[in-house]
Amino acid sequence: MAYLGYRAPLPVWSSPGIIMPPQDFSDSDEKWLSFTARLVEAVLDYKRKIDTDLVKVDMSGSLPMDMVQYTQLYGATRIPGMVSDSQVVDSDPNYIIVMHRGNAFVMETKDVDGNDLKASQIYYSLQHALAESKRLGSIGKIGLLTSDTRQNWYKAHQVLKVQDSETLSKIEGSSFVLCLDETLEESGKDKLTSTALNSLHGIGTSVNGSNRWYDKALQFIVAKSGEVAICNEHSFAEAVPTSKFNT
């Protein structure tokens, strides 16, 4: 695939951002996390519909489209290579990665009986991750590596495989990444523009650039100031399957 051979960075160059309706959380952690929990619940439910063939088949005029792209959204990760990248898809991951201030946390998405968690359960897991990130008091920078050129990221990836393979494998094997961004500072831009920029590149390394893992096929981004968006790695699917999350 041509996409996998591109050596340019993923953000801006190939990974699209999708704006979702802005929210008003009134600077409240409770409102922020409650909305995010419902979003995660809906995303998990959509996977169930994909797995059970309940998603309506896309049509091109009178012709049905191949729906295989939908099955390559969850659990999908692009792995950097020196000359060309590769793809890995875990068909049934039972956890997601929650990122806040560049710190990554594993959040289980199924209960002991194998059922998807409800929004109320997800809320408390998010609350715990947020509290732990604040307790750490530091900003993780490892996510920035995924925004570099593919050759540079490949070299760093090789080092990480030796130094912290467990963490790397956990992130890469997750269903998707949820990015909890802090309040975006006023920039003079309207909210939709700020949301678009945040979805594409996190508005740079000094804002949310490190709170991403650009190799993941799906990243859901929810800022405390109400900006909501999706960033998806383009080699797994065109924008149509991802845009369905916005309907």
Judge contact between 219 and 232, C-beta under 8 A: yes
Compute the distance between CA of residue 50 and CA of residue 71 in angstroms, rounded to an integer.
7
Judge contact between 73 and 237, C-beta under 8 A: yes
Higher pLDDT, 192 or 122: 122
Q: Which of 127, 134, 116, 133 shows the shortest CA–CA distance to 40?
A: 116
Q: Tell me the CA end-to-end span of the chain in Å, nearest whole number.
A: 29
pLDDT of residue 187: 65
pLDDT of residue 235: 92
Residues of the chain with pLDDT > 70: what percent?
98
Compute the distance between CA of residue 91 and CA of residue 49 in angstroms, rounded to an integer.
14
Judge contact between 16 and 232, C-beta under 8 A: yes
User: In sequence order, what are the residues at sequence separation of 6 or more whose Cβ sits closer than 8 angstroms to the Cβ of residue 39?
Assistant: 220, 222, 228
pTM, 2 dp: 0.95
- Token pair in block for residue 219: 């990243």
H or E element in which residue 201 lies: helix 191-201
| 129 pLDDT above the threshold of 70 | yes
Using left for φ > 0, alpha for ψ between -120 and 50, and beta otherwise, residue 206 falls in alpha
Q: Which of 56, 66, 132, 126 shows the shortest CA–CA distance to 98?
A: 126
| 226 pLDDT above the threshold of 80 | yes
Q: Is residue 141 very low, low, confident or very high in pLDDT (cuts 50, 70, 90)?
A: very high
pLDDT tens, residue by residue, 81-100? 999 999 999 878 999 999 99
Stretch 114-126: mean pLDDT? 97
Would you please indicate which residues are annotated as catalytic (active-site) residues?
Answer: 234
pLDDT of residue 191: 86
Compute the distance between CA of residue 166 and CA of residue 162 in angstroms, rounded to an integer.
9
Compute the distance between CA of residue 150 and CA of residue 229 in angstroms, rounded to an integer.
24
Angle between the N-to-C axes of helices 119-136 and 29-51, in degrees from 0 to 180, rounded to the nearest 10:
130
Residues of the chain with pLDDT > 90: what percent?
83
Stretch 145-153: mean pLDDT? 98
Q: Please name the residue that has the structure tokens 């939709």.
A: 192
Q: Is residue 1 very low, low, confident or very high in pLDDT (cuts 50, 70, 90)?
A: low
Q: Is 142 exposed, middle or buried (0-12, 13-18, 19+ CB in 10 A)?
A: middle
pLDDT of residue 188: 67
Judge contact between 108 and 92, C-beta under 8 A: no
Stretch 177-189: mean pLDDT? 86
| 186 pLDDT above the threshold of 80 | no
| 159 pLDDT above the threshold of 90 | yes
Compute the distance between CA of residue 72 and CA of residue 55 in angstroms, rounded to an integer.
14
| 32 pLDDT above the threshold of 90 | yes
Stretch 41-58: mean pLDDT? 94
Average pLDDT, the chain: 94
User: In sequence order, what are the residues at sequence separation of 6 or more whose Cβ sits closer than 8 angstroms to the Cβ of residue 247?
Assistant: none
pLDDT tens, residue by residue, 57-78? 999 899 999 899 999 999 999 9
- Token pair in block for residue 196: 């678009």
